[in-house]
Amino acid sequence: MATSETNGNPTAPVPPEAGRSGFPARSMVGAGGGAQGGVGAGARRRKPIFRIGARIGNATFVAIAVAVFVLLGLVWWAATASGWVKPIFLPSPVAVWTQLVKLAGDGTLWADAKISIYRIMVGFLIASAMAIPIGVLIGCFRIWEAAIEPLVDFVRYMPVVAFVPLTILWAGTADTQKFLIIWIGTFFQQVLMVMDNVKRVPPDFIGLGRTLGLPERKILTRIVVRSALPGIWDTLRISLGWAWTWLVLAELVAATSGLGYRITVSQRYFQTNTIIGYILLLGLLGLITDQVMKALERVLFGYARRGR
Amino acid sequence: MKLVVENVSRVFPGVRGGEPVRALEPTNLQVATNDFISVVGPSGCGKSTLLRIIAGLDRPSAGRVLLDGKPVAGPGPDRGVVFQSYTLFPWLTVADNIAFGLREKGLPERQRREIVASYIDKVGLRGFENHWPKQLSGGMQQRTAVARALANNPEVLLLDEPFGALDNQTRGLMQELLLGIWEREQKTVIFVTHDIEEAIFIGSRVLVMSARPGRIKTDMPVELAHPRHYTVKTSPAFSALKARLTDELRDEAVHAANEH
């Protein structure tokens, strides 16, 4: 392939101009600087779909993803419409939808979602605001790593669920307790992941900063953190997904409002349609936040994305 | 003397109770102002260790390095480094990468822009100022890295196999580019490579290093007239030098290979 000949870095394709630019600084006679055109020629051969890493078009990707949702929806519909499953265990998609529309209409759904989103935002922001600086510190300094990493690793393996009774004892059933559970569930994971993001900064970046005469403090902020930023963003995106789980857990056990609370209440009245509707809604909310984070990632860190 | 390496040695502690590794035997080296020294040797001969010690990125176990008569205590902007790995910051454009050191030094924007523009021209990257590093080929990335190092106007330029990851043709062009800049601007340069031809073509003096323990085996001047055209590589004088150094290096490579 034309690209791999002229390009030392396999992840970065040469722009078509590269071959033509040559080096004006010295004589080019016979040096072959212009012979690098033709990028992409011969790259369009048909390859089997089940070759490892084989690419598919964007449209195909979306079509397959949508088809899976539709298929599962159809299975669900068929199972309920045929009477194979009783509505008390699994109501039909239509019943779930009408229930959701009803709850949205009388404002219950919005109120529940609002309080839950508020809780997850506060809890997640507190956890992230603490985890990022601490993760950066232990990723950079072995002394901090020795002091904090084993402890965090220890706490990380304590099941969050087991903290629920304790947090109720400490903080009652108010919002503080929800923040606490979200914090326990995400902070310790985030710290270790951010540490890892920081440790992945190429050592030569740091060496380079030193040879440019930057003081350590500036190397930390201008190079290490800056370089780790896309990774840290990814950490936030992934841990936000977990935060949803802990939020609902906290609301299921002890709450007087929120999406989790509504699910518990609905169980008491056998309102399976509400339960399923809310579970789907939670999935949807998670999907939306994930997509928003991904879109922001593309905007903020577009420079780092691998070229197609 | 611009740069003096005085009895510098480096011993790496043994891993898990193993023998300590003598990466660099006590080494002496004197580099005159505006000299271009190539250091060539098999992998594991300590050539990169020597360079990193001069850069201040590694500490010698014994001995010291003097720059303009003053001992080197750590890395600093007086010794610019170009690494083998691609070290352009992906979040900065080509121009901002070159300007990075200048900006941190607090140079006013107008001056910064002038310096950057002049080096963009010198390394032939005009039109690519606003490209991201990921949009560049390996050769272009290394040209930017050279420009970034030079833009800070270091006393000594240290290059650690900067073209090692490039293909042959690009590497040849990069050698011409670097040599051309050196011929026009003069600079004290230490250039580490494992490629004999590259070492001879680009250097005014070639040091051959031997492996395990690493030490300087041969110190040979390259008496080829400047400016050197790439066609010099096919001249009899060049071939004679290459034959001699190949012989010396082969012994070392055989040595090193047998020890593993």
**Amino acid letter at A73?**
G
Average pLDDT of the residues in B181-186: 90
Task: For residue B31, report the phi and psi dihedrals to the nearest 5 degrees.
Answer: -115, 120
Indicate the residue of B79, B167, B172 with minimum beta-carbon distance to A31: B172
Are B238 and B72 spatial neighbours (Cβ–Cβ below 8 Å)?
no
Q: Which pair of structure tokens corresponds to residue A214?
A: 């930057």
β-bridge pairing B3-12 and B62-67: antiparallel
> Do residues B116 and B99 lie in contact, with contact meaning Cβ atoms separated by under 8 Å?
yes
pLDDT at B130: 93
| Ordered domains of chain A (ranges, CATH) | 1-45 (no CATH), 95-304 (1.10.3720.10)
d(CA A102, CA A273): 11
Give the burial string for B113-132 (b: 16+ CB within 10 Å, else e): eebbeebbebbbbeebeebb
Q: Cβ atoms within 10 A of the Cβ of A267, count?
A: 13
> Buried (b) or exposed (e) across A91-126, using 16+ Cβ within 10 A?
bbbebbeebbeebeeeeebeebbebbeebbebbbeb
Homologous superfamily in CATH for domain B3-248: P-loop containing nucleotide triphosphate hydrolases (3.40.50.300)
Q: State yes or no: cis peptide before B20, omega within 30 of 0.
A: no
Instruction: Give the mean pLDDT of chain B.
Output: 91
Residues of A in contact with B152 (CB under 8 A): 212
Token digits of residue A308: 């197609």
Under the banding of pLDDT at 50, 70 and 90, the label for residue A2 is very low
Residue A303 sits at the chain B interface (C-beta within 8 Å): yes
pLDDT for B213: 80
Of A257, A256, A255, A248, nearest in space to A283 by CA: A248
For residues B169 and A34, give the distance between their C-alpha atoms in angstroms, rounded to a whole number: 11
Who contacts B5 (Cβ-Cβ below 8 Å, separation ≥6)? B27, B28, B29, B30, B31, B50, B53, B54, B63, B65
Which chain B residues are closer than 8 Å to A211 by Cβ? 55-57, 75-77, 79-81
Phi-psi region of B6 (alpha: psi -120 to 50; beta: other; left: phi over 0): beta
Q: What is the pLDDT of residues A32-57, one digit of tens each?
A: 444 444 444 455 556 577 888 888 89
Helix, strand or coil for residue B28? strand
C-beta atoms of B167 and A6 within 8 A: yes
Q: Is A24 on the interface with B (CB under 8 A)?
A: yes
Residue B198 makes CB contacts below 8 A (sequence gap 6+) with: B38, B163, B171, B175
pLDDT range class, residue A6, cuts 50, 70, 90? very low
Q: Do B137 and A14 touch (CB under 8 A)?
A: yes
Nearest residue in chain B measured CA to CA from A300? B91
Contact of A210 with chain B, judged by CB distance below 8 Å, is answered with yes
pTM above 0.95, yes or no: no
Q: Which residues in chain A touch residue B180, judged by CB atoms under 8 angstroms apart? A: 25-26
Domain residue limits, chain B: 3-248
Q: Is the pLDDT of residue A9 over 60?
A: no
Mean pLDDT of chain A: 85
- B14, B59 contact by CB (below 8 A): no
* pLDDT computed for residue A14 by the predictor: 43
User: Is the CB of residue A228 less than 8 Å from the CB of residue A132?
Assistant: no
At residue B249, the pLDDT reads 83
Please provide the distance, in angstroms rounded to a whole number, between the alpha carbons at the two ends of chain B. 38
How far is the C-alpha of B163 from the C-alpha of B193, rounded, in Å?
8
Please state the rounded mean pLDDT for residues B163-179: 90
Q: What is the pLDDT of residues B52-109, one digit of tens each?
A: 999 999 999 999 999 999 999 999 999 999 999 989 999 999 999 999 999 988 899 9
- Quote ipTM for the complex: 0.90
- In sequence order, the 6+-apart residues with CB closer than 8 A to the CB of B176 are A23, A25, A26, A27, A31, B230
Rounded distance between C-alpha atoms, residue A231 and residue A219, angstroms: 18
- pLDDT, residue A4, reads 40
**Rounded CA gap, B225 and B214, in Å?**
31
A23 interface with B at CB cutoff 8 Å:
yes
Give pLDDT tens digits for A124-156. 999 999 999 999 999 999 999 999 999 999 999
Q: What is the pLDDT of residues A253-297, one digit of tens each?
A: 888 899 999 999 999 999 999 999 999 999 999 999 999 999 999
Q: What is the pLDDT of residue A50?
A: 81
Chain-chain contact of B137 with A303 (C-beta, under 8 angstroms): no
- Residue A251 confidence (pLDDT) above 80: yes
A13 touches A20 (CB < 8 A): no
pLDDT in tens, A154-198: 999 999 999 999 999 999 888 999 999 999 999 999 999 999 999
CB contact set of A300 (below 8 Å; sequence gap of 6+): A229, A230, A233
Q: Is B47 helix (H, G, I), strand (E, B) or coil?
A: helix
- The residue behind tokens 């219950």 is A108
Instruction: Give tens-digit pLDDT for B194-222.
Output: 999 999 999 999 999 987 788 898 899 99
Residue % of chain A over a pLDDT of 90: 73
CB contact under 8 A, A22 and B180: no
What does R_g of chain B's alpha carbons equal in angstroms? 19
Residue B151 to chain A, least CA–CA distance (Å)? 11
Token pair belonging to B39: 């250091």
**SS3 category, B29:** strand
Residues in a beta bridge with A260: none
Q: What is the pLDDT of residue A107?
A: 93
Could you give the count of Cα atoms lying within 13 Å of A121 in the half-sphere of its Cβ? Answer: 8
Do A19 and A34 form a contact (C-beta atoms < 8 A)? yes
Predicted local distance difference test score (pLDDT) of residue A7: 42
What residues contact residue A282 under an 8 Å CB cut-off, 6+ apart? A244, A248, A259
